[in-house]
């Protein structure tokens, strides 16, 4: 996949802002710690029941995300 220079620059700006906002100073990034700081709960498909796993895999093999308004929290399912 090829990105336009404009899109590449947008992505660099977003990454820079995340690094600054969450005080990321070292590589590799601790993704679990970053998700926690961002109030994002990461859930593995395998932690869901079989029926839900199948529905999730039918929706996306790569993962999906949603926002729970009641909990005011993002969830990423992988």
Write down the pLDDT at residue 8: 93
Domain with 10, as residue range(s), is 1-29
Domain check: are 78 and 59 in the same one? Answer: yes
DSSP string, 40-75: EEEE-GGGS-HHHHHHHHHH-SS-EEEEETTTTEEE
User: Does the predicted TM-score (pTM) go above 0.85?
Assistant: no
Domain check: are 25 and 45 in the same one? Answer: no
Domain check: are 54 and 76 in the same one? Answer: yes
Write down the pLDDT at residue 24: 92
Residue range 5-54, pLDDT digits in tens: 999 999 999 999 999 999 999 999 998 889 889 888 888 877 888 888 88
Is residue 46 a part of any domain in this protein? yes
Is residue 34 a part of any domain in this protein? no
Write down the pLDDT at residue 6: 96
Domain check: are 19 and 48 in the same one? Answer: no
Write down the pLDDT at residue 47: 82
Count of structural domains within the chain: 2
């Amino acid at each position: 996949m090829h990105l336009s220079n404009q899109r590449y620059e947008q992505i660099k700006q977003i990454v820079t802002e995340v690094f600054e906002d969450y005080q990321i100073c070292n590589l590799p990034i601790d993704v679990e710690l970053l998700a926690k700081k961002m109030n994002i709960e990461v859930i593995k498909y395998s932690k869901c029941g079989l029926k839900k796993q199948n529905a999730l895999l039918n929706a996306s093999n790569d993962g999906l995300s949603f926002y729970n308004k009641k909990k005011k929290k993002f969830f990423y399912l992988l």
